[in-house]
Structure 1
Amino acid sequence: MCAPPGSSSRPPHHREETAMHDHRRLGRELDLFDTDPLIGAGLPYWLPDGAAVRHTLEEYVRQAERAAGYRHVYSPALGKRELYELSGHWGHYSDDMFPPMRLGAEEVVLRPSLCPHHALIYRARSRSYRELPLRLAELGAMYRSEPSGVLGGLTRVRSIQLNDAHVFCTLDQVVEEAGAALTLIARAYADLGIRAARYRLSLPGDGGKYVADPALWRRATALLREVLDESGLQYEEVEGEAAFYGPKIDVQIADPAGREATLSTVQIDFHQPERFDLHYVGADGARHRPVMVHRSVIGSMERAVAHLIEEHGGAFPAWLAPVQLAVLPVAEAQYALAEAVVREAAARGLRAALSGPEDGTLGARIRAARLVPYQAVIGDREAGAGLASVRLRDGRRPGALPVDELLGRIADRVAARSTALWE
């Protein structure tokens, strides 16, 4: 089994690179997100370019989930206190929840997790074994009462937009469903140009924060070991990192300084189906208890974007970049044509921005767009022939191309979610 990345001393150039790629600094410099004391600590807001990255990421994961057979739902970010008492969150997790709010005779709580709501959606209808596995997914808000001392940038926040899903299945479907979730995670990491630092089987530790049901823990842990062994992944077992209701597979990532965090998870849960008295009617006509598989492909939007900023130093894969094409007219005479190129790019679903002479010299504008995957320079010669001189972020210059061909090539790379800029 693989060991966690070491924390050995790093050379000065690495420390400089680590500081340069800190998402808290770079994210603000690139106008991706910011904070305001009137909104509060741990509550960042997304600026237009950051919102473009987040929206693209959300659409990516929705499409991947639809292709994998998931159905999407929406559920409220509030629930009655009794809901979380039933799920076990109130008894095991209330220190990390915001205090209840009084509404007449009731108390409502900002949810710390989406799973209780999905359990209610499942039990709202009678279910047959023919419906299983039932895969419910949601990009939903949840809230954690994080201490101010641990808050930072996008990695530790109090308002979280989570890519969450719950699969309700029979016992003999569990291993396949959990393994399929790991496959989804691996594919997403490849498309995003990131990698897992290690895989961790997170087990319970000492103390009362865990559900007291040894048989439950043994069954769930054995199944997760089977999933990991069948996947061929190396992993490490770590005590004290489980969810309060069951063990989980944590996919760990590392920042440029080597600090680890959990991005993606797969969990097997026997506890909440019992607490919510969930059933399905089997082929024998009798009622049976489903198993609940929790999984998150890319975790929270906040932590995912923070890691992408640091992993790529702001130079996102072209399909994810907030601006995919910078259009640079050399002089005022080419401005109208440059505007037409931006409009045509938008019609093809590309994110393009125009930077004209009013923004500085051509050299200064090229430098300012250094993180944009593609630059189209239009001078007198190009304008007269309907061309654009192409510059790539990595320094290559494929030359002058017809505008239509250039936009088609970029659109193809973006649609393929390729990490390569050009072929």
Structure 2
Amino acid sequence: MNHQPGHHDHRDESGHHDPDRPDHRRLGRELGLFGTDPLMGAGLPYWLPDGAAVRHALEEYIREAERRAGYRHVYSPVLGKRELYEISGHWDHYRDDMYPPMRLGAEEAVLRPSLCPHHALIYRSRARSHRELPLRIAELGTMHRAELSGALGGLTRVRAIHLNDAHVFCTLDQAVAEARAALELIGRAYADLGIEAVRHRLSLPGAGGKYVADPELWRRATALLRQVLAEAGVAYEEAPGEAAFYGPKIDVQIADPAGRESTLSTVQIDFHQPARFGLRYTGPDGARHRPVMVHRSVIGSVERAVAHLVEVHGGAFPAWLAPVQLVVLPVAEEQLEQAERLVREAVALGLRAELAGPAQGTLGARIRAARLVPYQAVIGAREAGAGLAAVRLRDGRRPGALPVPELLRRITARVAAHSAVLWDEDPLI
């Protein structure tokens, strides 16, 4: 998947930064999500524990969504021999965005700019039958782009990219259905994540020599993508010059709170790479046939997805994504034991829960410090004696005191359902 992250820069028309606009770089620092260090290098952020918790929750959600959709997950190395990218076409068409080769004895190794070639090799690692198709291979894998330092910024433009990528190897007759299913998977993920697609774009080749020269290949792939969009009932705009070097693609466009647009998700139909790698399957007629390769990414790069989520939600993530989902607040030292027990029970159920005890300040100060945490459980003398916890929600509602098992059941149900709703009177079972 060739998925080039865009660049967000929150400046007004005069070129000055607007402090009132949500900026994931500022929020990332304030919330302790990620950081950078000159010794690590530009475009190479590190993830702090709270940011890592958000990222892990997002990655696990995507893996499970893909598993339910019939994908099998793989791991592949971040390096490949130069010859691999000569075969794929990246060396001819994408070399300026790649890191220079590293000499290893008689070989040259390259940091990969894409996962596609590795997945093509996984497909051809053994003989394939039509009975195996469609074969859906997915990976959350690292790739590298040699971005110039002036273009780097926060998580939206980085040099080491963790891409949610997948490739479906299928027959020609299956390609439209697989690409449409990928679009539907993207739509479901956006609903769960609170992401809004502002438009769909059919990205086509432009002038110049950066594209594979095969007019029939482009015509066939473009016709199939138009069919996908028509069957899905999706309005779209054409964008000449935005295609990948080897084929057209459907881009799902998002906008940051300042209205700046970028691509998050993509779906592509590719005839080029199966031909370059000599991919085959045995058909029902016993003859050898070439598969079609559908590339798709649900959330694009993890870095960009998290940056967008930080800006869209202002750090107040949906409960299932929040770095801390439940904070337990004992009013006084006398309730510490019950509060610690509640934290242990919550953690045992898979929740990200923390204790904020009296040593951290007054109850009011602790409540304010935890303002972005979806659920707060206050335990005073009355609650401790009755096995209760007084619930406060991030949105200001106070459902009241509940038995601890009931509280945990409600929260875990909301989290498991990836619900955007924090609470209602009829809890999810």
Coarse TM-score class (shorter-chain normalised): over 0.9
- 2:148 matched to 1:147? yes
Does residue 204 of structure 1 match 2:205?
A: yes
| Corresponding residue pairs, total | 411
Q: Aligned letter for 1:36?
A: D
1:355 alignment partner in structure 2: 356
Aligned to 2:7: none
Residue 213 (structure 1) aligns with: 214
Aligned to 1:4: none
Q: Which runs of 5+ in 1 are unaligned?
A: 1-6
Task: Name the amino acid aligned to 1:238.
Answer: A
**What residue identity is the alignment partner of 1:56?**
A
Residue of structure 1 in register with 2:230 after alignment: 229
Q: Cα distance, 1:374 vs. partner?
A: 0.3
- Deviation at residue 28 of structure 1 after TM alignment: 1.3
- C-alpha distance in 2 between matches for 1:402 and 1:157: 47
Q: CA deviation at 1:381?
A: 1.1
The residue aligned with 1:378 is 379
Query: 5 Å matches for 1:38-117?
Result: 38-117=39-118
> How much does 1:404 deviate?
1.1
Q: CA deviation at 1:271?
A: 0.4
Letter in 2 for 1:39: M
Residues 324-363 of structure 1 mapped to structure 2, 5 A cutoff: 324-363=325-364
Amino acid across the alignment from 2:146 = S
Structure 2 counterpart of 1:186: 187
Residue in 2 that maps onto 1:405: 406
Q: Deviations over 1:212-241 (max 9, x none)?
A: 111111100010010001101111100110
Q: CA deviation at 1:16?
A: 5.3
2:4 maps to what in 1? none
Aligned partner of 2:3 in structure 1 is none
Which position in structure 2 is the counterpart of 1:273? 274
Could you say what the CA RMSD is over the residues aligned between the two structures, in angstroms?
1.3
Quick one: distance in 1 between partners of 2:261 and 2:149?
Answer: 20
The residue that corresponds to 1:3 in the other structure is none
How far, CA to CA, are the matches of 1:257 and 1:150 in structure 2? 19
Q: Could you list the runs of 5+ residues in structure 2 that have no partner in the other structure? A: 1-9, 425-429
Structure 1 stretches of at least 4 aligned residues deviating more than 3 Å after TM superposition: none
Q: Tell me the residue number matched to 1:242.
A: 243
Identity of aligned residues (%): 80
Taking the aligned partners of 1:151 and 1:337, their CA distance within structure 2 comes to 48
Write the deviation string for residues 378-409 of structure 1: whole angstroms up to 9, x where unpaired.
11111111111100000000001111110110
Q: Partner of 2:164: helix, strand, or coil?
A: strand
2:213 aligned counterpart, secondary structure: coil
Q: What's the offset of the Cα at 1:17?
A: 3.9
| Aligned mates of 1:177, 1:126 — CA distance in 2 | 22
**TM-score normalised by length of structure 2:** 0.94
User: Partner of 1:137 in structure 2?
Assistant: 138
Alpha-carbon shift at residue 197 of structure 1 (Å): 1.2
Partners of 2:339 and 2:103 in 1: how far apart? 57
Quote the residue 2:32 is aligned against.
31
Deviations 1:130-161 (A, max 9, x none): 11000000010000011111111101100011
Residue aligned with 2:253, SS: strand
Give a deviation string over 1:23-42, Cα, whole Å, max 9, x none: 00001111111111110100
